[in-house]
Amino acid sequence: MQVQQQFTIVKEGNIASAKGFQAGGLHCGLRKKKVDLGWFYSEVPAEAAGVYTMNVFQAAPLKVTKESIAKENKLQAVVVNSAIANACTGEQGLQDAYDMRQLFAETVGIEEHLAAVASTGVIGELLPMDKLSQGISQIADKSNLGANKFETAILTTDTREKGIAVEVEIDGQTVTIGGAAKGSGMINPNMATMLGFVTTDAKVNAASLSTALKAITNKSFNMITVDGDTSTNDMVLVLANGLAENQSLTPEHPEWQSFFDALQFVCEYLAKEIARDGEGATRLVEVQVNGAVTDEAAAKIAKSIISSNLVKTAIHGADANWGRIITAIGYSGEPLDPDKVSISLGDILVVENGVPHPFDEDQAKEYLLEEEITIYAQLGDGNGKGIAWGCDLSYEYVRINASYRT
């Protein structure tokens, strides 16, 4: 295991790494061949928290999952289908989401309000409930178990699975936090088509878990963008089943920060993997902003830079066109002194105190051709800092989205 701060990254860790969790996936016919129905399950009810899309068109599964959590802030199992988003489907779509929850709860033997549902895929199509029902009925078959199958089942245009787990010691007990996510296009979360699921065997106070998730989401999932579009189906859920037998975690617990940091690392890792897997992407781009008036201002500026299509296309062409970065900073709406702004592409300084700094174009081009690049923006003497992640914008992105339904 690789040492990372106060926690360790579990080799081949996944959403089922924490005590008492299992996951699986199968093909039920929503897609031609690929696994398209996934689930994960806790042996006991778990404290639960969620964050959801800010799009006013919220898909039926989100409404149903919100109701489940609202009853007693607990969940025990989550079922997810890909291919069809069950969004903008009216009363029938909402009833299908309720039926999906009921069928799933009955199959795994839990109370209905302890089950959550999520969907991702094409908007405006009804779920083929006959296929979905048949698929749910096969969940008990142990041959369908496997976290890798879950990770595959939730994908749409993604090119790779996204999973991780870490371990951290709390009260002398080993606490594990695992996660899985999907997302490749329609990614500009305020809570994109993005789904994130995190499990832990830590014992955590429900209100504290919810507060932590919201704070961490604002520094992880909400700080990525692929194309500036916020989906109808975004959702991140965290389940904490307490089987690690630590003392209940709240911000007053002496090791709360260790837990918080580990949870934030898992969410940041998954967020960065989504950005790395952006539709047609060839680069993972990180933007670090320092010297802003506040952290909030720095975050907004970082997101403005990473969201600029002109910046993203310049990166794809390995063109050190720093004027596009300056422009994105300028229209962010945040206060700053233009004469104090400096910009670097990796270690290559291109703007110093608001004016061009001589640099080697060939060296800059070579850097921008790397798979991971970082843009640094120093705005002045403030204490505010923020980080955002995204990717380049390629010809392949246009091809994928021009034929998404075909």
Query: Which tokens go with 406?
Result: 């075909």
What is the Cα–Cα distance from 41 to 109, expressed in whole angstroms? Answer: 11
Identify the active-site residue in 107, 152, 156, 193: 193
State how far the Cα of 71 lies from the Cα of 41, in Å rounded to an integer. 19
Sheet arrangement for strand 384-391: 355-356, 348-352, 342-345, 372-378, 284-292, 384-391
Alpha carbons 147 and 26: distance in angstroms, whole number:
11
The one-letter amino acid at 349: L
Secondary structure (3-state) at 104:
helix
Is 120 one of the annotated active-site residues of the chain? no
For β-strands 74-81 and 115-119, DSSP reports them as parallel
| Residue 223 DSSP label | G
Handedness of CA 109, 115, 119, 124 (dihedral sign): positive
3-state secondary structure labels for all residues of 11-40: CCCCCCCCCCEEEEEECCCCCCCCCCEEEE
Q: Which residues contact 150 (CB under 8 A, 6 or more apart)?
A: 15, 16, 23, 24, 25, 38, 39, 40, 80, 180
Catalytically active residues, by annotation = 193
